Amino acid sequence: DKDRQHLEFAIGKAFEDAADHAASFEHYLRGNTLRRKTLLYDADDTSARVARIRRSYTRGFFAERSGWGAQAADPIFIVGLPRAGSTLLEQILASHSAVEGTMELPEITSITRELRSLGDSNRAMPYHDVVLGMDAGALRELGERYLDHTRIQRKSAAPFFIDKMPNNFLHLGLIHLMLPNAKIIDARRHPLACCFSAFKQHFARGQSFTYGLDDIGRYYHDYVALMAHFDEVLPGRVHRVIYERMVDDTEGEVRRLLDHCGLPFEETCLRFFENERPVRTASSEQVRKPIYREGVDHWRHYETWLGPLKDALGKVLESYPEVPEGIAGEMKNH
């Protein structure tokens, strides 16, 4: 079955390259269906986790803890969904003389796993219960631990480094509390482009939500709702980069990105494709080329078969790149 999964994704790509999109989608669907059967992913669990996070991390909660955590400003977190352009943003920033690119660092996940072991294991995402009870010293220690444990990934004297683990958007509350001066970048791409690109990618591990069109549509919806919540309770904390705007106005978007990070503009950031640093994600080939428009609307070749994805996305799709009005209230009452 595992060999068949790989084969179906490979045949899907071969037919895609041959512009036989009907046959391509059929094989992508077969590969995803086989992979989905091996996973225990439950979209309801994700929605419940997101609702819980929003109830826990309120504006007042953060205000009471203002100034807590380790004060270092070294990390730049890039979050979002896979295939949303996060590797491109990483490559652009890593082309700046003051920024070092690392990899998708697992340290935040390790910290949450450790915190989870201290909480009630019978509840979804119980580590939040532990965080709610932490004092200033404990949160500072967590921030310092993160800095210590990620230092091994830093090979240069650059003052800033990038942590590009997309799924860290689920842990922004913790990140803000333990590293209040870290920068946070949200990479966002058109929902159909982003979701279908992930659907046709056979990930080595993780990303269990990407193997069903309904699952990935619901996940994108929950992601938008959660990020809207953090925009409300921590205004200006997250800088959002819309992929299509980056394609249309690269220099303008790069300048805004660097401004948010407190960095002066450098021409090398526009020539990111000349940066020879190793890239280990599924976008490794794309970031070796100048930005191009071909990928923006590629999903349209498959639109006939994306009904379940559109239904799951709902008004998040209709309003993109804006956020649907009232999405915050929906999730708070989940």
Q: Given a cut of 70, is residue 300 above it in pLDDT?
A: yes
Q: Residue range 163-174: average pLDDT?
A: 96
Q: Residue range 196-208: average pLDDT?
A: 93
Q: Given a cut of 90, is residue 327 above it in pLDDT?
A: no
Q: Residue range 174-191: average pLDDT?
A: 98
Q: Given a cut of 70, is residue 271 above it in pLDDT?
A: yes
Q: Residue range 34-46: average pLDDT?
A: 95
pLDDT recorded at residue 135: 97
Q: Residue range 301-330: average pLDDT?
A: 93
Question: Could you tell me the pLDDT band of residue 334, with boundaries at 50, 70 and 90?
Answer: very low
Question: Could you tell me the pLDDT band of residue 281, with boundaries at 50, 70 and 90?
Answer: low
CA distance 138 to 110: 16
CA distance 249 to 242: 11
The average confidence (pLDDT) of the chain is 91
CA distance 160 to 76: 7
CA distance 179 to 150: 13
pTM, rounded to two decimals: 0.92
- Range list of H helices, the chain: 2-17, 21-36, 43-56, 59-64, 86-94, 107-116, 127-132, 136-150, 172-178, 191-199, 213-233, 243-248, 250-260, 307-313, 315-319, 327-332
Strand bridging mode 75-80 / 99-103:
unpaired
The sheet carrying 75-80 orders its strands as: 99-103, 160-163, 75-80, 183-188, 238-242
Q: Residue range 93-106: average pLDDT?
A: 93
Q: Given a cut of 80, is residue 139 above it in pLDDT?
A: yes
CATH superfamily of 39-332: P-loop containing nucleotide triphosphate hydrolases (3.40.50.300)
CA distance 295 to 272: 18
pLDDT recorded at residue 288: 47
The gap from C-alpha 289 to its chain's centroid, in whole angstroms, comes to 22
Q: Given a cut of 60, is residue 332 above it in pLDDT?
A: no
Domain ranges of the chain: 39-332
DSSP string of 95-107, one letter each residue? TSTTEEEEE---H
- Contact between residue 11 and residue 27 where contact means Cβ atoms under 8 Å apart: yes
Structure tokens at 5: 């999964």
pLDDT recorded at residue 296: 80
Structure tokens at 130: 């532990």
